Structure 1
Amino acid sequence: MSMTLVLLAWAGNTVRTAVEARLGQEPRSFPQREREFSVNVLTLTPQTIVPELTVYGELRSQRMLDLRSATGGIVRDASAALVEGGAVSAGQFLLRIDPVEAEAALARIRADVQDAQAELRDAERALVLGQDELAAARAQAALRDQALARADDLQARGVGTTAAVEDAELAASSAAASVLTRRQSIASAEARIDQATTRLARVQIDLAEAERNLAETEISAAFDGTLSDVTISPGGRVTANELFARLVDPTALEVAFRVSTSQYARLLDPAGNLTDAPVTVALDASGVNLTALGRITREGASVGTGQTGRQLFAQIDSAPGFRPGDFVTVRIAEPALDNVALLPATAVGSDQMLLTVDEGDRLQPVPVDVLRRQGDDVIIAAAGLAGLTVVMERSPLLGAGIKVRPIRPGVLAEQAVPQMISLDADRRARLIAYVSEGRMPDDVKARIIAQLEQDQVSSETVERLESRMGS
């Protein structure tokens, strides 16, 4: 028991001495190193850029014709191309409606034309006869006047009688009345000719209409195109003005798209007129991109109920593979901007600031004016910013005054050769003890201890371990 008590007292004194020695030691301090961040940078270079506006639109055909039947009836014949998607050429026969009724109406009108022509000829002959009768009546009246003059002369010489003069006057008066009657007959004949001419004109109009009705029983294509919405076939019946197909020209295409008011304002010239800006139309068809070029031609007359912005139309030059109704992407080339720069959108913060790297590799914020946003990039005004080194990707860890390690695009980072240093025995022992007591995997401990036991040790490894020991 005495020996046990002595051993316990000795152990307690040893523990107390160790604790006092530990408490009496000065705290170890290790030099702290400023943390650096690697950032991707680029040099800002002013240039002239043509901004590109991206919108979406729908293709339309500039030539689209509704095929309608002018007359009703049964379809007697139809072209083999009169099907959905059938390709036809200008003047090609499409269908024929039963022309029996139109032919009968045309025959009746032709008979009426013959009657009117005969009536006109009869009236003209009557006028000629009336003119001859008027000439005869005037000749007879002239003879009666001469007889009256002789009777007056004889009476004046005392040879003739008063009764003879009166008979001559009566005969002259009757001849004058006959001339007046013949003149009235000629006026009636001329009126008859006018009526016959008018009737002939009316029946000729009816004849032209009947011929047109007969011609409209046969329908042909007005231009080269493709048929759609076909609803008729041989033997079917159509009514007057019934829509039985549409003829679409797939080569004369235009795209209709809508832009915002601010985007529309950028497409105006100094006079306020819409410019014929070039456009590129793209259609992603199962991974195969179809593209076509065109130019803006006009704008919509009104905004439309429930719509915003402006509707524009662009004519497409050549668009193989495109069809009306396709939903396409439209890229519009805006007027060029001078003295600007193109940067990734991540380079500009929400406060419209850039982070630049000064000569000491420290960050400095610089305000910028964002002119356009194009997808993942922005176009900024580069006045006074030429040659600045700009951080391409901002993060919450970056701010004014922070030291960075710039990494320029296109340049491979040189592998830094680790600096090797020699360790004294105490420093090496402290590091090995720290690694051995640390919470690292055994294989990692073995690898680091093997490095520390070498004559030359990487300064980066030593600094990293000592920074952790001092934290």
Structure 2
Amino acid sequence: MKRAPLLARILLPLAVIAIAVGGAGYLQATRPLVQPEPVIEQIFAVRTAPVSFSRHQPRLELFGELVAAREAVLQSPVEGRVIEMSPALVEGGAVRRDEVLLRLDPFDHETRKRELQASLVQQEARLVELELTAAADRDLLALNDERLAIARRELDRQQKLRSSSFSSTKNLDDSRMKVTAEETTRRQREREIAAAAARIDQQKAAIDQLRLSLGRVERDIAETVVRAPFDGLVERVDVALGKELRAYDQLATLIDAGSIEIHFTLDDADFGRLWQDGLVGRTIDATWTLGDQAFALEGRVSRIGSRVQASRGGVGVFAEITGNPHSAPLRPGAFLTIGMDDRAYENVAMLPRSALFDPARVYGVVDSRLVGFDVEIVDRGATDVLVRGELAEGLPVVTTRLAEIASGLKVEMVP
């Protein structure tokens, strides 16, 4: 009777364990199966541009201005009071060559001219007087020579008579004194003639100086009338009727209307490229915008600036204006937008700048996947880039900017 409870105490835990193991096995056998989700590859939507190799000549878009190749600062050539002014001598006035711009009072200069003329007459009369005196001295010298010759002959005769004892010593001495006196007079006359010649030279120099002064005064009188040196436009006027001017006072600035040209700057890269391709003689188009009006201009590069413009980072270029179809009122300082053909490139592809990834790589779409291609950048524009490389004609090149782009990505091309 006591053995039954002991057996029950032994078998009961075993039964519990067996039930637990059996339950766990049943649950394991009857659990639902969980299928793993398949990995789906991401597809990127991209826009593309086809590769097309051909000849391309980019268009440079530049900025410039109108400048005057020739302008003159008009100055008062002489001093005087302004007594007359041209109506065109105002800011913005247009004048013609040799047009009278202003007149100065010539009174002081004409007075000086009359004084010099009177002095000249006086000095010329003095010259005549000196020349007459010199001529008289030369005549007297000739008479001295005759008297000296006579005195010498008389001395010879007295010497011969004295040797024959037919003349006294006194007569011989008198003859000698006569010769000495005539020789002394002759030397004195020669000195007077030489001095007269020097005075004549001095007088001629004084007359020449007076004539030069008279010529300057006559020029000053002529310059009391100020004329325009060329056709032009007037600016910076600093003169008025009645104003007292000194010599070299500034009157105004005259701009040669026919010398207005176009000036713009090429950066170092553009200049170096275009210089090799022939810069001088290249045509340009310019536009001068005034409000809602746009005036088109045509030009041709005529010369290069004499120095590099460090402040502008390039080289100055000048172009003559060859066409002004709308007869625009050209003025220096007008701001222009300028277009000029760049160098032409053969067998290059033009792509949007967004197709270029650093450093010089583009991605084409081959079988819906990206393939990277290294390219040579020939030219960069504002929105486009010219490239060369191992690209197939017609290959679609990605133009969409992707945050992480690499070869092998799967893409879908969209319009």
* TM-score between both structures, scaled by the size of structure 1: 0.71
Matching residue of 1:176: 183
Matched-pair contact (CA < 8 Å) for 1:300–1:310:
no
Pair 1:298–1:134, CA change in 2 (3 A): farther
Matching residue of 2:10: none
Shift of 1:276: 2.3
1:369 aligns to what SS in structure 2?
Answer: strand
1:309 correspondence with 2:316: no
In 2, Cα distance between equivalents of 1:151 and 1:368: 129
Aligned partner letter, 1:167: D
1:212 correspondence with 2:219: yes
Matched-pair contact (CA < 8 Å) for 1:296–1:312:
no
Matching residue of 1:223: 230
Shift of 1:277: 5.8
Provide, for residues 312-354 of structure 1, a one-character-per-residue CA deviation record: whole Å limited to 9, x for no partner: 1313233552310112234454544444333221221233211
Shift of 1:387: 1.8
Matching residue of 1:423: none
1:251 aligns to what SS in structure 2?
Answer: helix
Matched-pair contact (CA < 8 Å) for 2:81–2:244:
yes
Provide, for residues 338-374 of structure 1, a one-character-per-residue CA deviation record: whole Å limited to 9, x for no partner: 443332212212332112233x243311112223222
Shift of 1:286: 2.8
Alignment equivalent of 1:134, drawn from 136, 141, 165? 141
Provide, for residues 444-464 of structure 1, a one-character-per-residue CA deviation record: whole Å limited to 9, x for no partner: xxxxxxxxxxxxxxxxxxxxx
Pair 1:335–1:351, CA change in 2 (3 A): closer
In 2, Cα distance between equivalents of 1:298 and 1:28: 75
1:395 correspondence with 2:406: no
Alignment equivalent of 2:332, drawn from 319, 324, 328? 324
In 1, Cα distance between equivalents of 2:196 and 2:39: 135
384-393 vs 85-94, greater mean Cα deviation: 384-393
Pair 1:151–1:78, CA change in 2 (3 A): same
1:350 aligns to what SS in structure 2?
Answer: coil
Matching residue of 2:120: 113
In 2, Cα distance between equivalents of 1:188 and 1:332: 80
In 1, Cα distance between equivalents of 2:131 and 2:316: 66
Aligned partner letter, 2:124: Q
In 1, Cα distance between equivalents of 2:304 and 2:42: 62
In 2, Cα distance between equivalents of 1:376 and 1:390: 18
Matched-pair contact (CA < 8 Å) for 1:106–1:210:
yes
Provide, for residues 234-258 of structure 1, a one-character-per-residue CA deviation record: whole Å limited to 9, x for no partner: 3344343222211111221234444
In 1, Cα distance between equivalents of 2:340 and 2:291: 24
In 2, Cα distance between equivalents of 1:299 and 1:110: 53
1:370 aligns to what SS in structure 2?
Answer: strand
Pair 1:129–1:331, CA change in 2 (3 A): farther
Superposition pairs of residues 148-187 of structure 1, within 5 angstroms: 148-187=155-194
In 2, Cα distance between equivalents of 1:386 and 1:237: 82
324-333 vs 92-101, greater mean Cα deviation: 324-333
Across the aligned residues of Structure 1 and Structure 2, the Cα RMSD in angstroms comes to 3.1
Shift of 1:124: 1.8
Provide, for residues 269-308 of structure 1, a one-character-per-residue CA deviation record: whole Å limited to 9, x for no partner: 49xxx9526252432333414223121513244656xx36
In 2, Cα distance between equivalents of 1:257 and 1:85: 25
Matching residue of 1:356: 364
Paired positions, count: 377
Bigger relative CO (Cα 8 Å, ≥ 6 apart) = 2
In 2, Cα distance between equivalents of 1:235 and 1:264: 53
Matched-pair contact (CA < 8 Å) for 1:279–1:296:
no
In 1, Cα distance between equivalents of 2:343 and 2:157: 108
Shift of 1:137: 0.9
Matched-pair contact (CA < 8 Å) for 2:82–2:245:
yes
Pair 1:392–1:220, CA change in 2 (3 A): farther
Alignment equivalent of 1:340, drawn from 333, 336, 348? 348
Matching residue of 2:298: 292
2:319 aligns to what SS in structure 1?
Answer: strand
Aligned partner letter, 2:171: A
Q: Among all aligned residue pairs of Structure 1 and Structure 2, give the percentage whose two residues are the same amino acid.
A: 24
Shift of 1:268: 4.4
Aligned partner letter, 1:297: R
In 2, Cα distance between equivalents of 1:260 and 1:110: 65
Matched-pair contact (CA < 8 Å) for 2:81–2:104:
yes
Pair 1:192–1:50, CA change in 2 (3 A): farther
In 2, Cα distance between equivalents of 1:36 and 1:209: 91
Shift of 1:65: 0.8
In 2, Cα distance between equivalents of 1:53 and 1:247: 34
1:44 correspondence with 2:48: no
In 1, Cα distance between equivalents of 2:341 and 2:114: 64
Gaps of 5+ in 2: 1-30
